[in-house]
Amino acid sequence: MTVGHLANDAVLGGHDGTWETILKYSSEAAVDTYEEIAIIIPRGRRTVELHLSFLRLHGQADDIKIQYSSIIRLFVLPKPNSPHTFAVVTLDPPIRKGRTLYPHIVIQFMTEVIVKTDLNLSRDLLAGKYKDKLEESYMGPIHEVFTKVLCGLSGAKVTRPGSYRTCQGEYAVKTSLKSEHRLLYPLGKGFFFLPEPPMLILYEEVEFVGFGSYRREGAGKSDCYLDLLVKRKNGQEHIFRNIQRNEYFNLFNFINGKQLKTMNLGDEQSDEDEDFGSFMGGGGSSTDDDSSGDESESSESGGEKEGASSGGGGSKKRKWKKKHATYRWHRMSWRGFRVR
């Protein structure tokens, strides 16, 4: 390893880059080591080393060191219908690799792999600094051993799946964000979209959550999908698409239990989504809109339809509606959710 590479890694891990710091973190022996672990973010297979004061991800092309002081939380999330478990290390400040910032390190473990490890720690340290935090040895699933050792060394708290379950009893729903088909975990204090790109949305940052319904072109009535729109208080919007229709009630009840503002997004595809209102339990109405607002909005849409039918472009407009969904709430409309 070249000196320049090492110095760069020291800065990457949040160190000051001086020779004393570089030598200190280079010579410190690892407390526990895991070979050839799949790192999803940043991508690559690396050796994971847990040291007394930092976490090291050592790969063929890079060597990343992360101070424990920058680890604010660890998430342990089983992957649905898969032999893998995610261990997500959340950082503040994030590490930087090139021009990219990484606030989350996503590690993927094989759930059924059992390991036994003896920690490289003196008895004085175990009896003193790490008393009631670490044990001499551990045996169990690899992700559990890694979690216990990392939390004992860093003092970080662990978040696991809470009360939410899908219709299949899993902890996450399959969905897509833009072009990425991934998983959405509704947790105790926020939504976590994994694995790539990882995105944590805390409930305290959410202004409202909206549900929409659409049907893929050529699909039957039973092949209806949900859109879940999450709008943050800073104005950012995230649309999680392609959620199975039968997940609506579990999602709605869970989100409503978190006292988040929820609303069902009205749909103008009357020819294709006649059952939207009955499926959504009344459909199209906000939880905090008054009846007069609903009536005025429906009258506006009715006027649009009458104008379209009286004009020469009514046929073209109906064809356009069959290809696009229009979601309305709070006198606003979102167009362009193309039906796939």
Q: Which residues lie closer than 8 Å to 195 by C-beta, 6 or more apart?
A: 40, 41, 86, 106, 108, 182, 183
Domain boundary among 132, 159, 186: 159
Q: In this predicted structure, what is the pLDDT of residue 224?
A: 76
pLDDT at residue 91 is higher than 70: yes
CB 220 within 8 A of CB 213: no
Whether residue 113 is found in the same domain as residue 259: no
CA distance 168 to 176: 18
CB 262 within 8 A of CB 203: no
Which of 115-129, 211-225, 253-267, 303-317 shows the lowest mean pLDDT across its residues? 303-317
Q: In this predicted structure, what is the pLDDT of residue 185?
A: 97
Whether residue 215 is found in the same domain as residue 131: no
Which of 192-206, 235-249, 274-288 shows the lowest mean pLDDT across its residues? 274-288
Whether residue 81 is found in the same domain as residue 42: yes
Whether residue 183 is found in the same domain as residue 299: yes
pLDDT at residue 244 is higher than 50: yes
Residue 143's pLDDT band (cuts 50, 70, 90): very high
Q: In this predicted structure, what is the pLDDT of residue 8?
A: 34
Residue 217's pLDDT band (cuts 50, 70, 90): low
pLDDT at residue 94 is higher than 90: yes
Report the Cα 147 to chain-centroid distance in Å: 19
Whether residue 105 is found in the same domain as residue 188: no
Place of tokens 């526990």: 32
Q: In this predicted structure, what is the pLDDT of residue 206?
A: 96
Residue 154's pLDDT band (cuts 50, 70, 90): very high
Whether residue 242 is found in the same domain as residue 145: no
22-60: per-residue pLDDT in tens?
444 445 789 999 999 999 999 999 999 999 999 999 988
Write the CATH number for 119. 2.30.29.150
Domain total of the chain = 2
Taking the C-alpha atoms of 246, 247, 249 and 255 in order, what is their torsion angle to the nearest 10 degrees?
-170
164 falls within a domain: no
Whether residue 91 is found in the same domain as residue 127: yes
310 falls within a domain: yes
DSSP 189: S
Whether residue 206 is found in the same domain as residue 326: yes
Whether residue 11 is found in the same domain as residue 151: yes
Residue 265's pLDDT band (cuts 50, 70, 90): low
- Residue 74 three-state SS: strand
Domain boundary among 135, 159, 183: 159
Q: Which residues lie closer than 8 Å to 270 by C-beta, 6 or more apart?
A: none
Mean pLDDT of all residues in 324-332: 38
Whether residue 152 is found in the same domain as residue 210: no
The domain in which residue 25 lies consists of 3-159
168 falls within a domain: no
CA distance 179 to 176: 7
pLDDT at residue 240 is higher than 90: yes
Q: Which residues lie closer than 8 Å to 188 by C-beta, 6 or more apart?
A: 159, 162
Element holding 8 (H helix, E strand) = helix 3-12
Residue 213's pLDDT band (cuts 50, 70, 90): confident
127 falls within a domain: yes
Pick 174 or 273 by higher pLDDT: 174
Nearest in space to 68 (alpha carbons), one of 82, 52, 85: 52
166 falls within a domain: no
Domain boundary among 115, 135, 159: 159
Write the CATH number for 216. 2.30.29.30
Whether residue 323 is found in the same domain as residue 179: yes
Q: In this predicted structure, what is the pLDDT of residue 164?
A: 96
pTM of the predicted structure, to 2 decimals: 0.72
165 falls within a domain: no
167 falls within a domain: no
Whether residue 76 is found in the same domain as residue 143: yes
Question: How far apart, in Å, are the Cα atoms of 14 and each of 23, 54, 115, 332?
Answer: 15, 10, 31, 45
Mean pLDDT of all residues in 104-111: 97
Instruction: Please give the mean pLDDT across all residues of the chain.
Output: 77
55 falls within a domain: yes
